[in-house]
Protein backbone atom coordinates (compact mmCIF):
# COMPACT_ATOMS: atom_id res chain seq x y z
CA UNK A 1 0.00 0.00 0.00
CA UNK A 2 1.31 3.45 -0.94
CA UNK A 3 1.62 6.29 1.57
CA UNK A 4 -1.13 8.91 1.26
CA UNK A 5 -0.61 11.81 -1.10
CA UNK A 6 0.29 15.12 0.53
CA UNK A 7 -2.64 17.51 0.81
CA UNK A 8 -0.81 20.48 -0.67
CA UNK A 9 1.37 19.79 -3.68
CA UNK A 10 4.67 21.54 -4.03
CA UNK A 11 6.92 22.08 -6.98
CA UNK A 12 10.19 20.25 -6.65
CA UNK A 13 13.06 22.51 -7.58
CA UNK A 14 15.98 20.39 -6.40
CA UNK A 15 16.43 16.65 -6.37
CA UNK A 16 18.94 15.55 -3.75
CA UNK A 17 21.02 12.55 -4.78
CA UNK A 18 22.86 10.83 -1.96
CA UNK A 19 25.35 8.48 -3.55
CA UNK A 20 27.00 5.98 -1.23
CA UNK A 21 30.01 4.68 -3.11
CA UNK A 22 33.75 4.21 -2.86
CA UNK A 23 34.76 6.42 -5.76
CA UNK A 24 33.02 8.97 -7.97
CA UNK A 25 31.76 6.98 -10.95
CA UNK A 26 28.06 6.83 -9.98
CA UNK A 27 27.92 10.44 -8.81
CA UNK A 28 29.55 11.51 -12.09
CA UNK A 29 26.96 9.45 -13.97
CA UNK A 30 24.14 11.18 -12.09
CA UNK A 31 25.55 14.60 -12.94
CA UNK A 32 25.75 13.52 -16.58
CA UNK A 33 22.21 12.09 -16.82
CA UNK A 34 20.29 14.20 -14.27
CA UNK A 35 18.51 16.50 -16.75
CA UNK A 36 17.67 13.54 -19.00
CA UNK A 37 16.02 11.88 -16.01
CA UNK A 38 13.92 14.69 -14.51
CA UNK A 39 14.00 17.63 -16.90
CA UNK A 40 15.95 20.87 -17.13
CA UNK A 41 13.92 22.80 -14.53
CA UNK A 42 14.97 20.60 -11.60
CA UNK A 43 18.43 21.13 -10.18
CA UNK A 44 20.62 18.31 -8.88
CA UNK A 45 22.38 18.33 -5.56
CA UNK A 46 24.73 15.36 -5.47
CA UNK A 47 26.33 14.29 -2.20
CA UNK A 48 28.88 11.50 -2.36
CA UNK A 49 29.99 9.54 0.65
CA UNK A 50 31.60 6.23 1.43
CA UNK A 51 29.24 3.30 1.09
CA UNK A 52 29.56 2.49 4.79
CA UNK A 53 28.85 6.04 6.04
CA UNK A 54 25.64 7.00 7.78
CA UNK A 55 23.62 8.90 5.15
CA UNK A 56 22.03 12.25 6.03
CA UNK A 57 18.25 12.51 5.92
CA UNK A 58 16.59 15.89 5.46
CA UNK A 59 12.98 16.99 5.94
CA UNK A 60 10.30 14.43 5.00
CA UNK A 61 9.13 16.66 2.13
CA UNK A 62 12.56 16.78 0.46
CA UNK A 63 12.98 14.88 -2.80
CA UNK A 64 15.85 12.51 -2.09
CA UNK A 65 17.20 9.55 -4.03
CA UNK A 66 19.72 7.21 -2.46
CA UNK A 67 21.99 5.30 -4.81
CA UNK A 68 23.95 2.57 -3.06
CA UNK A 69 26.95 0.88 -4.63
CA UNK A 70 26.76 -2.66 -3.27
CA UNK A 71 29.21 -5.47 -3.85
CA UNK A 72 30.20 -8.58 -1.90
CA UNK A 73 32.59 -6.68 0.36
CA UNK A 74 29.99 -4.22 1.69
CA UNK A 75 26.77 -6.24 1.39
CA UNK A 76 26.14 -6.62 5.13
CA UNK A 77 26.78 -2.95 5.93
CA UNK A 78 24.64 -1.91 2.97
CA UNK A 79 21.77 -4.11 4.14
CA UNK A 80 21.79 -2.34 7.50
CA UNK A 81 21.65 1.10 5.86
CA UNK A 82 19.00 0.09 3.30
CA UNK A 83 16.77 -1.25 6.06
CA UNK A 84 17.27 1.83 8.23
CA UNK A 85 16.44 4.29 5.43
CA UNK A 86 13.51 2.19 4.26
CA UNK A 87 11.97 2.06 7.72
CA UNK A 88 12.67 5.61 8.84
CA UNK A 89 11.85 7.59 5.70
CA UNK A 90 8.97 6.44 3.51
CA UNK A 91 9.35 9.28 0.99
CA UNK A 92 12.79 8.21 -0.18
CA UNK A 93 13.69 6.34 -3.33
CA UNK A 94 16.49 3.80 -3.11
CA UNK A 95 18.45 2.51 -6.10
CA UNK A 96 21.18 -0.11 -5.92
CA UNK A 97 24.19 -0.32 -8.20
CA UNK A 98 24.93 -4.00 -7.74
CA UNK A 99 28.40 -5.01 -8.76
CA UNK A 100 29.23 -8.72 -8.93
CA UNK A 101 26.43 -9.92 -6.64
CA UNK A 102 25.04 -13.43 -6.94
CA UNK A 103 21.39 -13.95 -7.74
CA UNK A 104 20.79 -14.99 -4.11
CA UNK A 105 22.34 -11.76 -2.83
CA UNK A 106 20.28 -9.68 -5.26
CA UNK A 107 17.16 -11.56 -4.18
CA UNK A 108 17.88 -10.65 -0.54
CA UNK A 109 18.24 -6.98 -1.51
CA UNK A 110 15.04 -7.03 -3.56
CA UNK A 111 13.04 -7.65 -0.38
CA UNK A 112 14.04 -4.17 0.88
CA UNK A 113 11.84 -2.03 -1.38
CA UNK A 114 14.58 -1.19 -3.86
CA UNK A 115 13.14 0.70 -6.83
CA UNK A 116 15.77 -0.46 -9.32
CA UNK A 117 19.00 -2.38 -9.66
CA UNK A 118 21.68 -0.96 -11.93
CA UNK A 119 24.72 -2.86 -13.15
CA UNK A 120 26.32 -0.22 -15.34
CA UNK A 121 26.21 3.55 -15.70
CA UNK A 122 24.56 3.20 -19.12
CA UNK A 123 21.43 1.87 -17.42
CA UNK A 124 20.85 5.14 -15.54
CA UNK A 125 18.40 6.45 -18.15
CA UNK A 126 16.05 3.56 -17.34
CA UNK A 127 15.34 5.32 -14.02
CA UNK A 128 13.37 8.14 -15.64
CA UNK A 129 9.87 6.58 -15.36
CA UNK A 130 10.54 5.47 -11.79
CA UNK A 131 11.72 8.95 -10.76
CA UNK A 132 8.79 10.71 -12.40
CA UNK A 133 6.17 8.43 -10.85
CA UNK A 134 7.72 8.24 -7.42
CA UNK A 135 8.24 11.96 -6.92
CA UNK A 136 4.90 12.90 -8.46
CA UNK A 137 3.58 12.22 -4.97
CA UNK A 138 5.79 15.00 -3.58
CA UNK A 139 5.26 17.55 -6.31
CA UNK A 140 5.11 18.09 -10.02
CA UNK A 141 8.17 17.11 -12.01
CA UNK A 142 8.64 19.10 -15.17
CA UNK A 143 9.31 17.26 -18.45
Alpha-carbon distance of 61 to 12, in angstroms, equals 10
Helix (H) or strand (E) run with residue 70 in it: strand 64-70
pLDDT, tens digit (0-9, with 9 covering 90-100), for 58-77: 555 568 889 999 988 888 88
Residue 23, exposed/middle/buried by CB under 10 A (0-12, 13-18, 19+)? exposed
Q: How far is CA 121 from CA 32, 47, 106, 137, in A?
A: 10, 17, 18, 26
pLDDT, tens digit (0-9, with 9 covering 90-100), for 11-26: 677 888 999 898 899 9
pLDDT given at position 40: 86
- pTM, whole model, 2 decimals? 0.79
10-140 fold: Rossmann fold (3.40.50)
SS3 call for 53: coil
Amino acid sequence: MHPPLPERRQTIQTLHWIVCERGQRWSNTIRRFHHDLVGKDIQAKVTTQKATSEPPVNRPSDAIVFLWEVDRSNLVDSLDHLIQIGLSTSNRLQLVASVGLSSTQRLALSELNIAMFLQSQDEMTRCRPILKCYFARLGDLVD
